[in-house]
Amino acid sequence: METTLKKFVRAFVAAGLAAAFALPAVAQQERTIRFGHLNNPDHPVSFGVKRFAELLSAKSGGKMKVQEYPSNQLGNEMQQQAALQGGVQQMSAPATTSLAGIVKEFGLVDFPFSVATFEQADALLDGPLGQALIAKLPEKGLVALGYWDLGFRNVTNSRQAITKPEDLEGLKIRVIPNPVFLDTFKAFKANPVPMPFAELYGALESKAVDGQENPFSVILSNKFYEVQKYVSATNHVYAANIVLVSKKFWDQLTPQEQKWMREAADESRAYQRQVSRAAAQKALGELQAKGAQFNELSTDQQARMRQIAQPVIDKFAAQYDPAMVKLYKDELARIRKQ
């Protein structure tokens, strides 16, 4: 009888221990993802994060939650990139430009006049080139779930409308401190001036620089229309954001959790692009309502600008992996025929 009792007690204790160890396993399935970015809560990137969060929560039955940290709360782009690589932060959505420091071929996305329409931009980034760039990130501690829209960059200035390449000659244009941007504007015989964005409004107001280049929504939200009369749709560079995940975090996820993440990213992408492009059109309308003089460039003048910028493209392309450059050129040829 004593032996039977001991067996019962041992079995009871073992069952209790098993139950105790099972509880943390269930708890581990609840995850909170810190998703940081640079933009304000009313920016299309923030709308993309919110949609991604809704979709992921629905797919995971509420087990995977996203906590958004907008407006540089977790640091600038480089600080957040380092936090992702270190596994301290789970997600971010920076401009692709910020990745050129660790995978220089991301500079291909910044090449001037690569794409002329949103359809071409989506085809380039969602196709083989965009995927080949994404494939280079895991070895750098990052996993990418796709590309979001930031928009075409356009020139504003206080002197004249830009209708042809010659109109840029002699203009002092603030550009982001990026070698491709500097050389591109030099090719148009402008005087590119790299300076921090925070100093830009004051420089435009004091006429230290004549103009700058940014997407319409940035031009509007920073009130550049107060100190810039001319807004010209040069569409010289298409800018994209990339949805990044820490590889250290990604590797902790189950295959099912990774699947939910990928699906939520895919489904939020079309929504984010739609919101971003609608915001750009709305911003342009508001700029015009506030007195900005807007003009578009003809297809012929766009082609001329692309031709003038070609030596810049050739110079930088020579510094990249030849296989990636060939893929880039092949993809552009393919999507321009569509």
Whether 10 shows a pLDDT value over 70: the answer reads no
Helices (H), 206-321: 216-221, 247-250, 255-289, 299-317
Burial 128-155 (b: 16+ CB within 10 A, else e): ebbebbbebbeeebbbbbbbbbbbbbbb
Whether the pLDDT of residue 88 is over 70: the answer is yes
Dihedral over alpha carbons 216, 221, 226, 232 (to 10 degrees)? 0
pLDDT > 70? residue 1: no
- Tens-place pLDDT, residues 186-204: 999 999 999 888 799 999 9
Helix (H) or strand (E) holding 13: helix 2-28
Q: 68: burial class by Cβ within 10 Å (0-12, 13-18, 19+)? A: middle
Mean pLDDT of the chain: 91
The whole-number average pLDDT for the span 58-66 is 97
* Location of structure tokens 């957040």: 80
Model confidence at 6: pLDDT above 80:
no
pLDDT of 59 strictly over 80: yes
Question: Which of 94-98, 227-231, 263-267 has the weakest average pLDDT?
Answer: 94-98
Sign of CA dihedral 158, 162, 165, 166: negative
Q: Is the pLDDT of residue 11 over 80?
A: no
pLDDT band at 216 (very low <50, low <70, confident <90, very high): very high
CA gap 191, 210 in Å, rounded: 10
Positions of E strands within 107-229:
142-157, 172-175, 191-194, 211-214
Output helix, strand, coil percentages for the chain, rounded to the nearest 5. 55, 20, 25
| pLDDT for 84 | 98
Q: Name the pLDDT band for 19 (thresholds 50, 70, 90).
A: very low
What average pLDDT does the segment 84-104 reach?
94
DSSP 291: T
Total count of residues recorded for the chain: 338
The answer to whether residue 7 scores a pLDDT higher than 70 is no
Counting residues of the chain whose pLDDT is more than 70, the rounded percentage is 92
- In this prediction, residue 23 carries a pLDDT of 37
User: Beta strands 91-92 and 31-36: pairing type?
Assistant: parallel
Q: Quote the tokens at residue 205.
A: 């107001």
Please tell me the least confidently modeled range out of 15-19, 21-25, 150-154: 21-25
Q: What is the largest CA-CA distance in the chain?
A: 103
> Span 25-41, mean pLDDT?
80
Distance CA 28, CA 250 (A): 14
Say what the pLDDT of residue 133 is: 98
Element (H, E) at 245: strand 230-246
Domains, the chain, in order of start with CATH, read: 2-337 (3.40.190.170)
pLDDT at 5 over 70: no
The CA distance from 98 to 75, in Å, is 14
Tokens 């992921």 -> residue: 56
Half-sphere exposure of 30 (CA within 13 A, CB side): 5
